[in-house]
Amino acid sequence: MSQPVIFCDFDGTVTEKDNIIAIMNEFAPDGWEEQKEGVLNRTISIREGVGKMFSLLPVSLKDEIIEFAIKNARIRPGFQEFLDFAAEEGIPVYIVSGGIDFFIEPIINSFGPLAGVFCNGSDFSGETIKIEWPNSCDDQCSNDCGCCKPSIMRKLEHDGIKKIVIGDSVTDLEAAKQADMVFARDYLKDKCEEWKIPYTPFGTFHDCVEALKIQTGVRG
Ligand SMILES: [Mg+2]
Ligand SMILES: [Zn+2]
């Protein structure tokens, strides 16, 4: 049987809500919502929109923003149990996120094991927060994703792996299109319906474990 590999989103998936939206609601001056709308209706790229949103925030707010992000983030139930199950089954779990390192790392630190965390970077050396893009699109993607999930999957994939994608949003759709199995909620679920991509709906990570037990032939 092929080796399953899990590519799991962070914002709105591992955490119950989107951390970028929460941070912007709390700290950003007027103007960020315009960027958000642009991203959602696809008139600007994710990379451009997210970059501009964070450029509205002075670097002096760094500690305050991190503290807020940690306090505000609620982890979706069953996440650690899900990681324990994957570890027992020898299934690597990668976090693949369009979020930013400075809030993801302190939140995810207490969970594991993880095979890796792919997300955007940040530079606090200027006056406002500058986002860095170490995982931008390869030559097969022209969406200007920022953190390009399909590109990361192509980089990590090799013969015989079964790609499992878990997500909730617009950035997960392209990844879902090239997955062998999809767990979807919220916007991604609607998009899977629209694109006729087979998916398993989930509310908690316990749901994912149950479905994986059946799919991978493991009985709990
Ligand atoms: Mg998400
Ligand atoms: Zn891309």
Distance 167 CA to ligand 1 centre (A): 6
User: What are the pLDDT digits (tens) for 118-152?
Assistant: 999 999 999 999 999 999 999 999 888 899 999 99
Distance 86 CA to ligand 1 centre (A): 20
User: What are the pLDDT digits (tens) for 28-58?
Assistant: 878 899 988 998 888 999 899 999 999 999 9
CATH number at residue 52: 3.40.50.1000
- The parent domain of residue 64 ranges over 3-215
The pLDDT value recorded for residue 217 is 64
Q: How does DSSP assign 101-139, residue by residue?
A: HHHHHHHHTTS---SEEEEEEEE-SSSB-EEE-TT---T
SS3 for 37-89 is HHHHCCCCCHHHHHHHHHCCCEHHHHHHHHHHHHHHCCECCCHHHHHHHHHHH
The pLDDT value recorded for residue 29 is 79
User: What are the pLDDT digits (tens) for 168-182?
Assistant: 998 899 999 999 999
Domain count, the chain: 1
Distance 30 CA to ligand 1 centre (A): 23
65 is a domain residue: yes
Which-ligand-closest: CA of 169? 1
220 is a domain residue: no
17 is a domain residue: yes
